[in-house]
Amino acid sequence: AAWERRVRSSARVRSRPGHSVLVTGAAGFVGMHVSIALKRRGDGVLGLDNFNGYYDQTLKRARQGMLERTGVFVVEGDINDKELLKKLFDVVSFTHVLHLAAQAGVRYAIQNPSSYVHSNIAGFVNLLEVCKSANPQPAIVWASSSSVYGLNSKLPFSEKDRTDNPASLYAATKKAGEEIAHTYNHIYGLSITGLRFFTVYGPWGRPDMAYYFFTKDILNRRPITIFEAPGHGSVARDFTFIDDVVKGCIAALDTAKKSTGSGGKKKGPAQLRIYNLGNTSPVPVSDLVSILEKHLKVKAIRKVQPMPRNGDVRFTHANISLAQKELGYKPTTDLEAGLKKFVRWYLSYYPDAKKKSAWDFEVLDCIS
């Protein structure tokens, strides 16, 4: 009963009727930020996360602390647990599901292929099955990925470009998610919006991502490896700041049309959409390192190596005109400003990080 009270209270709408959102992966990087932003504007928000050990669980628990301080309760459980999901839908009539829970990361799939199938395919289907049977059916917004563009897509990537050459198992499972979304929209009238995120970074970010572990390694005077594509220079990414992605997610939730149910045809087709959420300005990883050096005031020990064939692609670059037109999405933070915020957060979250390399700060003041 106490559990149910917490669930209800977290999902209770304060000032936005018709906005009761279940956020899966809420203790994750993007999940924490969007949940807090939704709660602050008055939506009802309930989190769900299995707190898996893919990366530092202490960080996930710290994010949970941030969520709880904002009034967001995070239920601990797996999206594959149908009974749990049904119970949540029995207690709350969610109008929206923001589905961010997934096994992320490209290289981890080489050793752990089944966790991608478990979370990104089986878990997604399980969630859609529960949404399909819920009354009312919620509108679903979920995270796909820029990785669906694969190896040979032309730049910049637009939504209508080919996505039939995934470079990693991660990309293949995100692509599979898009096909599964199509099926559930077509047969059951579910409203589903997929967002292809492009390398999201920022405070409370993911320790498995380059900008994050580069920061740690630079501060610890450990060498960092920058991959180069022979003949193309450093690998480049369309780094997108978390606040911009949060705005994009919220705009997608606000524009999502209600589901029409299995008798969908009579009421007109339910919405099926896919949008790029990128920054439209790719930056070589070598430049990212220079910006980190400047903000950290520590020089990196760089090792340049040819790109191995491990699932990474050389470049990403989003064309965002569709999201701009239909969601009003407009990124406003460039990498320099966004990394400054990240570094400030990193040094406050790890207060000892700076001490370790205190001597570097004097020696290398010249590079700022």
Q: Active-site positions?
A: 170
Binding residue (CB under 6 A) for ligand NAD from 6, 16, 37, 51? 51
Q: Is the dihedral of CA 134, 139, 143, 148 positive or negative?
A: positive
Q: Which residue is nearest to ligand NAD (CB)?
A: 28
Q: Tell me the three state secondary structure of residue 156.
A: coil
Q: Tell me the three state secondary structure of residue 47.
A: strand
Binding mask 180-219 vs ligand NAD (x if CB under 6 A, - otherwise)?
-----------------x-xx-----x-------------
Q: Is residue 333 near ligand NAD by the rule CB under 6 A?
A: no
Secondary structure letter of residue 354 according to DSSP: H
Spatial distance between the Cα atoms of 242 and 240, rounded to a whole number of angstroms: 6
Q: Is the peptide bond before 207 cis (omega within 30 degrees of 0)?
A: no
Q: Which residue from 158, 135, 128, 137 is spatially nearest to 146, judged by alpha carbons?
A: 158
Binding residue (CB under 6 A) for ligand NAD from 20, 50, 279, 333? 50
Contact positions with ligand NAD (CB under 6 A) in 56-75: 60
Secondary structure letter of residue 207 according to DSSP: T
Q: Is residue 30 near ligand NAD by the rule CB under 6 A?
A: yes
Contact positions with ligand NAD (CB under 6 A) in 272-291: none
Among 6-14, 36-44, 98-106, 220-228, the segment contacting ligand NAD (CB under 6 A): 98-106
> Which token pair is 101?
């829970």
Return the number of the residue (61 or 154) whose C-beta is nearest ligand NAD. 61
Distance of CA 82 to the CA centre of its chain: 23
Binding mask 298-317 vs ligand NAD (x if CB under 6 A, - otherwise)?
--------------------
Is 158 within 8 Å of 316 (Cβ atoms)? no
Binding residue (CB under 6 A) for ligand NAD from 79, 171, 320, 327? 79
Is 193 within 8 Å of 91 (Cβ atoms)? no
Return the number of the residue (78 or 293) whose C-beta is nearest ligand NAD. 78
Q: How many residues bind ligand NAD (CB under 6 A)?
A: 28
Spatial distance between the Cα atoms of 41 and 65, rounded to a whole number of angstroms: 19
CA angle 264, 92, 277 (to 5 degrees): 65
Q: Is residue 49 near ligand NAD by the rule CB under 6 A?
A: yes
Binding residue (CB under 6 A) for ligand NAD from 78, 238, 244, 293? 78
Q: Is residue 101 near ligand NAD by the rule CB under 6 A?
A: yes
Alpha helices (H) along 150-241: 169-188, 210-219
Is 294 within 8 Å of 367 (Cβ atoms)? yes
Contact positions with ligand NAD (CB under 6 A) in 144-173: 145
Q: Is residue 130 near ligand NAD by the rule CB under 6 A?
A: no
> Which token pair is 42?
């008055």
Q: Is residue 47 near ligand NAD by the rule CB under 6 A?
A: no
Q: Which positions touch ligand NAD (CB under 6 A)?
A: 24-25, 27-31, 49-52, 60, 78-80, 100-104, 119, 123, 143, 145, 197, 199-200, 206
